[in-house]
Amino acid sequence: MKHSVMLTIASLLSILLFSFHLADDIVHGMEPGGLNNLIGGSLIMVVWLYGTLVLAERRSGYVIMLLGSLLSFGVPIIHMKGKGVGIASGIAQSSGGFRFVWMLIALGVTALFCVILSARGLWNSQWGQSR
């Protein structure tokens, strides 16, 4: 499979998982769910989506996907270290706990995969050569 196709699919999957995660945070009361989350989360996803679909195979697209993936990779780390998954929070034992934890793991895996593919695309030897 072509490198850029894998990156596009993985990035779209990460964006989808990121949106599910944000909704789950709001449902579980970890985020207030106000206008700030709607605007902030939507803005991040729109820029990331633009970089994935419109700027694909361009340096700016790789940079946007790298930054979005790095931020998404930090989400499971933050939840696993602190607010969200610990026994004291009760989320893991709640009815949606399995889905929440699975989504964190899936988001971390796809985001790290996107980081690797984006970095590989940026380090591609074609930059600087005439086309």
> pLDDT digit string (tens) for 31-47?
887 888 888 888 999 99
Under a CB-based contact definition with an 8 Å cutoff, are residues 110 and 17 in contact?
yes
Q: Please give the distance of CA 74 from its chain centroid, rounded to a whole number.
A: 9
Encoded tokens for 98:
């399995």
Encoded tokens for 25:
């945070």
Nearest to 104 by CA among 125, 128, 82, 127: 82
Under a CB-based contact definition with an 8 Å cutoff, are residues 83 and 30 in contact?
yes
Region of residue 90 (phi > 0: left; psi between -120 and 50: alpha; otherwise: beta): left
Give the pLDDT of residue 127: 54
pLDDT, tens digit, 9 for 90 and up, residues 48-101 = 999 999 998 899 999 999 999 999 999 888 888 766 676 556 666 677 778 888
Whole-prediction pTM = 0.84
For the chain, how big is the Rg over CA atoms in Å? 16
Encoded tokens for 74:
């930090």
Side-chain-facing half-sphere of 48: CA atoms under 13 Å: 31
Encoded tokens for 107:
């988001």
Rounded Cα gap, residues 14 and 16, in angstroms: 5
Give the pLDDT of residue 68: 94
